[in-house]
């Protein structure tokens, strides 16, 4: 956990109501699947965001306008200085993937899978991305994923890109030794049932602090109450109870 | 050099700044941000006799200048807190510790106090949590109910006993006086105000519990007013709590009558809130020509 100042160097629309914000600052190397808490001027609580990519001194966030806070964010000008807490949560265990990993994402949950796919490629692991969206114009980071994944399968609810239907309906013939997933709860539940190996699921939650002190985001797991912001957001498939 | 020390119910604090219960856990997470030893004290997460999961989520909602929470006293239970959490906190924090206890029956409060009191320097009796049924606030909203719990806990508590009161009452002074009469050594004011928010698109309350405790800078004037009223009416120290976010707020609370000041929600948006307040306090005192902080306690007539 580190509280730093970062500067906006890019803040552009990349899909329907979805924006890409690039920030620069003294950010350390971040574990894929960890998240950040961004202070939005005029709003009391910070906003948690997954990290889509990191490089030296650079951070990429993909966010969707869903309320007043994110609506204010899309107007952040280039050059604006932001107060960010980075390195929150546990992140994905990249090391467990041996030869091939399956990445399953839904909607904005696809964003943190990009940093993960980059890290897996560095380790020589083949990644198959199965990404589900409502429609073709909701899809983001298409070219970026194409550079780091060995196979990509899209599923859209309206059939405008890839298979028509749910992302979890196309996993059967894929070979993998572990999987990683991030997306809405109903999707994660379906992923739990549709996968045949152990794997990790990243959860989203309404948070107060993001660093483990308010107990606002607690879920019940097989081993008792866990904070999504601290013990999570990434949980083992077997840990979650629905 | 300014003097920031205060004496809270016979316990000397190096400064009056105390993270409020429920906004600081048991200190472990916050110690990753800064050295906790600069704090006056810490009021640890509200503890009940038995472990509690708390309320369903969402438990957090936002509002202008503040937030709502309906956490519902999630905690690992008094035995675990006494045996594991407090000893761990003592390893990284060498100032007085305040144990915050809550219950659902008078017996529950007593048993919880029996386990927690020996491990802490001050006990803070929470009879004001708005987020649990038949507990907390049920005792704290009448003078008789408050007095009954305080008396029962007093008998088993050999530590200074603070009583944290709810602002969701008509006459805070009557309840505070009843607590004083029943043996309280001090009063903490205030717990959260009961509030509610609605998600317009879902046409549902944001909180799964529908209602929750409202806190943050917006409640500061309410807390300050109650600190003023109670400190004038009672002869025991008052700990001011509610919407404090700056060193100036600390001074204002003390002028209203507070002997020490708890910082709550601000810890959840700025992890360095208490550190910044402690570090800014001497400069603010210099600016206001205060050499000894205790000189200004309750100076407002």
Which residues from B are below 8 Å from A205, CB to CB?
57
Using CB atoms, pick whichever of A39, A205, A208 lies closest to residue B67. Answer: A208
Is B64 in Cβ contact with A44 (below 8 Å)? yes
pLDDT given at position B136? 60
> Is B129 a known active-site residue?
yes
Using CB atoms, pick whichever of B24, B45, B62 lies closest to residue A44. Answer: B62
Is B32 in Cβ contact with A1 (below 8 Å)? yes
Q: How far is B232 from chain A (nearest CA, A)?
A: 33
pLDDT band at B135 (very low <50, low <70, confident <90, very high): low
pLDDT digits (tens, 9 = 90+) for B124-133: 999 987 777 6
Residue of B nearest to A224 (CA): B53
Distance between the two ends of chain A, CA-based, in angstroms?
Answer: 29
pLDDT band at B134 (very low <50, low <70, confident <90, very high): low
pLDDT given at position B157? 97
pLDDT band at B138 (very low <50, low <70, confident <90, very high): confident
Establish if B69 touches chain A: CB-CB under 8 angstroms.
Answer: yes
Which residues from B are below 8 Å from A225, CB to CB?
53-54, 74
Furthest-apart CA atoms within chain A: distance in Å: 49
pLDDT tens for the 242 residues of chain A, in order: 999 999 999 999 999 999 999 999 999 999 999 999 999 999 999 999 999 999 889 999 999 999 999 999 999 999 999 999 999 999 999 999 999 999 999 999 999 999 999 999 999 999 999 999 999 999 999 999 999 999 999 999 999 999 999 999 999 899 999 999 999 999 999 999 999 999 999 999 999 999 999 999 999 999 999 999 999 999 999 999 97
Using CB atoms, pick whichever of B64, B268, B271 lies closest to residue A208. Answer: B268
- The whole model's pTM is what? 0.96
User: Which of B129, B157, B234, B241 does the annotation list as catalytic?
Assistant: B129
Q: Which of residues 77-96 of B touch A (CB under 8 A)?
A: none
Is B54 in Cβ contact with A213 (below 8 Å)? no
ipTM score of complex: 0.94
pLDDT band at B152 (very low <50, low <70, confident <90, very high): very high
Using CB atoms, pick whichever of A44, A217, A220 lies closest to residue B67. Answer: A44
Tell me what percent of the residues of chain B surpass a pLDDT of 70: 98
Per-residue pLDDT, averaged over B257-272, amounts to 98
pLDDT band at B139 (very low <50, low <70, confident <90, very high): confident
pLDDT digits (tens, 9 = 90+) for B45-85: 999 999 999 999 999 999 999 999 999 999 999 999 999 99
Q: How far is A167 from chain B (nearest CA, A)?
A: 25
Supply the mean pLDDT for chain B: 96
Using CB atoms, pick whichever of B45, B57, B269 lies closest to residue A206. Answer: B57
Say if CB B135 and CB B104 are below 8 A apart: yes
In degrees and rounded to multiples of 5, residue A118 shows phi and psi of -65, -45
Is A209 in Cβ contact with B59 (below 8 Å)? no
pLDDT given at position A242? 79
pLDDT band at B224 (very low <50, low <70, confident <90, very high): very high
Mutation target to probe the A interface, by most A beta carbons within 10 A, among B55, B60, B61 is B60
pLDDT given at position B133? 64
Architecture of domain B6-296 in this structure:
Alpha-Beta Barrel (3.20)
| Helical H segments across chain A, by residue range | 68-73, 111-122, 142-148, 185-194
Q: What are the residues of chain A with a beta carbon less than 8 Å away from any beta carbon of chain B?
A: 1, 3, 39, 43-46, 85, 205-209, 211-220, 225, 230
Which residues from B are below 8 Å from A85, CB to CB?
271
Mutation target to probe the B interface, by most B beta carbons within 10 A, among A216, A221, A222, A241 is A216
pLDDT digits (tens, 9 = 90+) for B239-256: 999 999 999 999 999 999
Element containing residue A207 per DSSP (H, E): none
pLDDT band at B207 (very low <50, low <70, confident <90, very high): very high
pLDDT given at position B107? 94
Q: So where are chain B's domains?
A: 6-296
Residue A41, SS3 per DSSP: coil
Using CB atoms, pick whichever of B57, B58, B268 lies closest to residue A209. Answer: B268
Establish if B264 touches chain A: CB-CB under 8 angstroms.
Answer: no
In three-state form (DSSP H/G/I as H, E/B as E, the rest C), the secondary structure along chain B is CCECCEEECCEEECCCEEECCCCCCCCCCHHHCCCHHHCCCEECCCECCCCECCCCCCCEEEECCEEEECCCCCECCHHHHHHHHHHHHHHHCCCCEEEEECCCCHHHHHHHHHHHHHHCCEEEEECCCCCCCCCCHHHHCCHHHHHHHHHHHHHHCCCCEEEEECCCCCCHHHHHHHHHHCCCCEEEECCCEEEECEECCCCEECCCCCEEEEECHHHHHHHHHHHHHHHHHCCCCEEEECCCCCHHHHHHHHHHCEEEEEECCHHHHCCCHHHHHHHHHHHHHHHCCCCEHHHHCCCCC
Distance between the two ends of chain B, CA-based, in angstroms?
Answer: 28
Above 90 in pLDDT, residue B195? yes
Which residues from A are below 8 Å from B267, CB to CB?
209, 213
Is B53 in Cβ contact with A218 (below 8 Å)? yes
Q: How far is A238 from chain B (nearest CA, A)?
A: 20
Is A205 in Cβ contact with B269 (below 8 Å)? no
Which residues from B are below 8 Å from A207, CB to CB?
60
Domains and CATH numbers, chain A: 2-88 (2.40.30.10), 94-202 (3.40.50.80)
């Amino acid at each position: 956990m580190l509280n730093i100042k970062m500067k906006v160097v890019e803040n552009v629309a990349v899909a329907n109501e979805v924006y890409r914000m690039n920030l620069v600052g003294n950010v350390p190397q971040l574990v894929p699947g960890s998240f950040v808490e961004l202070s939005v001027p005029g709003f009391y609580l910070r906003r948690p965001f997954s990290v889509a990519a990191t490089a030296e001194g650079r951070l990429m966030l993909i966010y969707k306008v869903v309320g007043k806070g994110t609506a204010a964010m899309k107007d952040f000008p280039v050059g604006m200085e932001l107060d960010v807490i980075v390195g929150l949560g546990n992140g994905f265990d990249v090391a467990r993937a041996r030869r091939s990993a399956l990445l399953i994402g839904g909607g904005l949950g696809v964003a943190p899978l990009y940093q993960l796919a980059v890290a897996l490629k560095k380790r020589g692991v083949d990644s198959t991305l199965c990404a589900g969206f409502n429609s073709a114009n909701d899809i983001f980071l298409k070219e970026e994923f194409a550079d780091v994944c060995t196979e990509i399968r899209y599923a859209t609810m309206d059939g405008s890109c890839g298979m028509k239907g749910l992302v979890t309906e196309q996993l059967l013939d894929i070979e993998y030794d572990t999987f990683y997933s991030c997306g809405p709860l109903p999707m994660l539940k379906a992923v739990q049932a549709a996968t045949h190996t152990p794997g990790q699921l990243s959860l989203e939650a309404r948070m107060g602090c993001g660093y483990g002190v308010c107990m606002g985001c607690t879920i019940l797991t097989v081993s008792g109450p866990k904070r999504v912001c601290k013990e999570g957001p990434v949980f083992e498939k077997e840990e979650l109870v629905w | 050099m300014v003097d920031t020390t205060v004496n809270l119910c016979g316990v000397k604090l190096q400064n009056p700044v105390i993270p409020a219960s429920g906004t600081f856990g048991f200190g472990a997470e916050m110690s990753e941000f800064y050295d906790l030893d600069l704090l006056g004290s810490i009021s640890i997460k509200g503890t009940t006799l038995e472990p509690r999961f708390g309320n369903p989520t969402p438990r957090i909602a936002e509002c202008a200048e503040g937030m709502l929470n309906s956490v519902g006293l999630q905690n690992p239970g008094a035995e675990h807190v006494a045996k594991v959490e407090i000893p761990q906190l003592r390893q990284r924090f060498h100032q007085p510790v305040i144990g915050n206890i809550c219950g659902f029956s008078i017996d529950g409060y007593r048993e919880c106090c029996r386990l927690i009191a020996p491990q802490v320097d001050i006990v803070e009796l929470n009879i004001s949590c708005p987020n649990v049924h038949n507990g907390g606030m049920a005792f704290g909203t009448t003078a008789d109910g408050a007095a009954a719990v305080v008396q029962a806990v007093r008998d088993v508590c050999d530590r200074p006993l603070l009583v944290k009161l709810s602002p969701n009452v008509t006459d805070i002074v009557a309840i505070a006086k009843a607590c004083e009469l029943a043996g309280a050594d001090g009063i903490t004011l205030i717990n959260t105000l009961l509030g509610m928010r609605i998600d317009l698109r879902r046409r549902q309350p944001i909180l799964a519990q529908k209602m929750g405790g409202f806190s943050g800078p917006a409640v500061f004037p309410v807390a300050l007013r109650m600190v003023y009223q109670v400190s004038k009416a009672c002869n025991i120290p008052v700990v001011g709590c509610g919407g404090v976010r700056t060193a100036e707020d600390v001074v204002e609370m003390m002028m209203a009558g507070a002997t020490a000041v708890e910082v709550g929600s601000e810890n959840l948006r700025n992890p360095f809130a208490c550190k910044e307040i402690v570090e800014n306090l001497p400069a603010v005192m210099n600016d206001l020509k205060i050499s000894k902080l205790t000189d200004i306690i309750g100076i407002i007539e």
